[in-house]
Structure formats: structure tokens, C-alpha cells
Homo-oligomer: A and B are copies of this chain.
Amino acid sequence: MNARIPTSLPFADWAKQVQSGMEDVLDRFLAPVSVVPARLHEAMRYTAMDGGKRVRPLLVYAAGDVFDTPLPLLERAAAAVEMIHVYSLVHDDMPCMDDDALRRGKPTVHVKYDEATALLVGDALQAQAFATLSAPLEAELATADAGMPARQLRMLNLLAQASGSVGMCGGQAIDLASVGMTLSLSELEQMHRLKTGALLRAAVLLGALGGKALTADESAALDDYARAIGLAFQVVDDILDATADSATLGKTAGKDAADNKPTYVSILGLGESQALAEKLRGNAHQALAPFGDKARRLRELADLIVQRKA
């Protein structure tokens, strides 16, 4: 992606451009296979560069549209948040965690390579996420805005917090501890707020933070939006896990029930879960009202998250 994607494009085309552009951006920020150790770099690319829905990058770019964030910052943020997401999947699939053999329709890293390589691929992708977000900016951009390093620093701190023990890793620890237990709806919500919500929220805020300084009202509105789509994302995940097949999902379906994991469907039932997802979509739209037409892509992403089939 060398230029901003016009907002006049239909959503599906816009999304496709972001998704295919992400392959280029990731290619730029991951070491080539020709660099030693070749096998590690090959495995990092195997898992990071094969499409996927790229929901988090889409959120970064959509939020960037609202706040006119410079493209080089959006690219770094989108690549970094996706690397964090991908590393978490690689580790999550390992035998000591979910022990899953299939991801995005392909063998998982520890199956295709080996467990030690999967561990290192995840570790190295996390490091590369922070290397990417802290990478020096093009000289024109750095000199055009003296506040740029401070902004980049805030973005790094946000991503690090969202990824760690009070964010994504913390949510996974709660998830592990909850297998076979009866969770209340609010306990389930807290787990997902950390496990998937924190990184989705980070994606929205990263896209915004790279632009002009946010007012307290704007921050609060983005937080409301992020909370709604974060929760909706998980509710829909649980619905799909219960209703879709593995071929459609590109990963093992029905796994939550088999693993005896508490889900929205197991607690609320299918109908109420679907109603909740729809209600959260409404909340997300409502939160975006102050941003008017500039938030069009964020609105469309809330729709995508709730209406997706995989």
C-alpha cells in the first residue's frame, strides 16, 4: 500500500485492499528467508503471511481514517498488532495449551515444524511486533512533526499493555483456569475482555493515537466502540464454533463443547447469543455517532464482525 485507500470504495473492496496490502506490509517488516536462521524465518512467514481475516489491521486502518493518521504509522501499527495476534495463535495451538492441529485450513506450526520451533516463532513474532512499531520513521515524516516520537512511544506502551498479563496473556491464563468450571456471565465477559477484547481495543486506539491528539470524549467514544465490538467478536466466535463446520472455519469446529469450555452459547443459548451480538452491533454504531461520516469504515467493521460466517 503506497497510498491511502479512497473512502469512496465499497466496503468489500476496501477490505480486500487492506488485506492484500497487509501481505506487502508484513513482507517488509519480517526478515526474509535468506537471513539466518532460515528455518525460523520460514516458519514465521508460514504462519503470518497467509491471509487470515486481518480484523485487527482493518480496525487500525478504519480508525486511522477518522483521525487522519499518517500512513507509515498505520502500516507499522497494523503489522505490529497482527504479529501479536498471530504469535498468540501459534502458542495457543501448542499441545500444552489448546493442542490444535488446524489453523486457517493449514497444519499449525508445531505440527508442520515442531514444538520448539513453534515456541520460538511465537517469541520472535512478539519481539518483531515491537521492533516494527518502534522502527524509525521516514525522515520527511519525522521532521514534519516533532511530536511523532512521543506518539509512537504511547502506541508502543498501549500495545505492550494490551498484550501482557493485564491484557491478552492474562485473559488466556483465566481461560485455562476456567476449563470445566461454571462461569457466570460477568466472569466470562471479564475473561474475553482480556483475552480478545484488549487487542481489538488496542487496534482501534493504535489507529487513532497515531493521528491528532484525542479529546477525552473521543477517547471514551472509541473505548465504547471497542468494548462493544470486542465482546461481539467473542459472542459470534462462540456461535460459529457451535454452528459452523471445520471446513468453513478453517479450524476445528465444536472444540469448545468438546473441551468443556464455558461459552456464550453454553450459558445463554443460541438464540439469546444471537440477540446479544445484534445488540452489541447497535451499541458500536451508537458510540460512533460523534464522528459522523469519517467513522464509516468502523461502522462497517462492526457489521462485518457480527455478520461474518467464519
- The reply to whether B37 and A164 contact each other, CB–CB distance below 8 Å, is no
Q: Which one of B37, B114, B119, B153 contacts A134 once the chains associate, using CB atoms below 8 Å?
A: B153
CA distance in complex: A168, B57 (Å): 28
Find chain B residues with CB under 8 A from A159 CB.
130
For the complex formed by this chain, how many copies does it contain in all? 2
Sample of 4 more A-B contacts, CB < 8 Å, known A91-B123, A127-B169: A31-B165, A116-B176, A149-B152, A153-B153
CA distance in complex: A27, B161 (Å): 17
CA distance in complex: A263, B190 (Å): 48
Number of interface residues of A (CB under 8 A): 54
Q: Is A26 an interface residue (CB 8 A)?
A: no
- The reply to whether A123 and B169 contact each other, CB–CB distance below 8 Å, is yes
Contact with B along A125-151 (1 / 0, CB 8 A): 011101100111000000000100110
Stretch at the interface among A39-47, A58-66, A283-291, A300-308: A39-47
**Given that A149-B149, A152-B153, A153-B134 are known contacts, is A36 also in contact with B170, CB under 8 Å in the complex?**
yes
- The reply to whether A157 and B136 contact each other, CB–CB distance below 8 Å, is yes
Shortest Cβ distance from A92 into chain B, in angstroms? 9
Q: Is A108 an interface residue (CB 8 A)?
A: no
Interface residues of A in 153-209 (CB under 8 A from B): 153, 156-157, 159-161, 163-167, 169-170, 172-174, 176-177, 190
CA distance in complex: A136, B173 (Å): 27
**Given that A96-B116, A97-B119 are known contacts, is A36 also in contact with B153, CB under 8 Å in the complex?**
no
